[in-house]
Amino acid sequence: MRHLRNTCVRAIGLVTALLVILSGGLSSPPSAKGVVTGRIAPCMGLPIPDGPRYAAGTVFVLQGQVRWKSEGHGNYVDMLPSDVVARQDVATNQAYWFALEPGRYVLQARYSPPAGVLPYMEITVRAGDDLKVDVPNECL
């Protein structure tokens, strides 16, 4: 009887160890993408009392980084990448959400008309990231 009980205890211990090993092997791998969420800062100098906290518009995700091109005489213009990998329209006070492969990106916002300003923000995404990035107000 004692021998049977010791055998059962050992068997339960082996099964438990096997389950722990298998459950670790079956867990899902870390995400290969990173998540980027944020909002568009409104295009205004001074905040409007009771006005919207975040602007409506379209957010474009451009793959790459900003380059600077000389126009001569010490003047440079920013050259944004042209490869659009994602875009999302957002309403007033609404957040955008993107799941992106690791890499360098530029988030560019286009405000709803009549605003003609195109603010942007450079970001680097790593696997598993959960980034909160608002496109800044460049209307100041």
Please write down the HEC assignment for all residues of 59-76.
Answer: EEEEECCCEEEEEECCEE
Contact between 60 and 84 (Cβ < 8 Å) = yes
User: Can you give the pLDDT at residue 30?
Assistant: 58
- Would you tell me how many other CB atoms lie within 10 Å of the CB of residue 115? 16
Is residue 15 in some structural domain? no
Average pLDDT rounded to a whole number, residues 44-52 = 74
pLDDT at 119 over 70: yes
Structural domain including 45 reads 34-132
Average pLDDT rounded to a whole number, residues 7-17 = 47
Q: What is the DSSP string of 69-135?
A: EEEETTEEEEE----EEEEEEE-TTPPEEEEE-SEEEEEEEEESTT-----EEEEEE-TT-EEE-PB
Is residue 5 in some structural domain? no
Is residue 46 in some structural domain? yes
Is residue 47 in some structural domain? yes
Contact between 34 and 130 (Cβ < 8 Å) = yes
For the full predicted model, state whether its pTM sits above 0.85: no
At 9, the pLDDT band (50, 70, 90 cuts) reads: very low
How much is the mean pLDDT over the chain? 82
Tally the domains of the chain.
1
For residue 61, give Cα distances in angstroms to 1, 78, 84, 100. Answer: 70, 16, 6, 9
Q: Domain with 62 in it: what CATH number?
A: 2.60.40.1120
Is residue 39 in some structural domain? yes
pLDDT digits (tens, 9 = 90+) for 123-136: 999 999 999 999 99
For tokens 């957040």, the residue is: 95
Cis ω for the linkage preceding 114 (within 30 of 0): yes
pLDDT at 7 over 80: no
User: Can you give the pLDDT at residue 59?
Assistant: 97
At 31, the pLDDT band (50, 70, 90 cuts) reads: low
pLDDT at 51 over 80: no
pLDDT digits (tens, 9 = 90+) for 59-98: 999 999 999 998 888 899 999 999 999 999 999 999 999 9
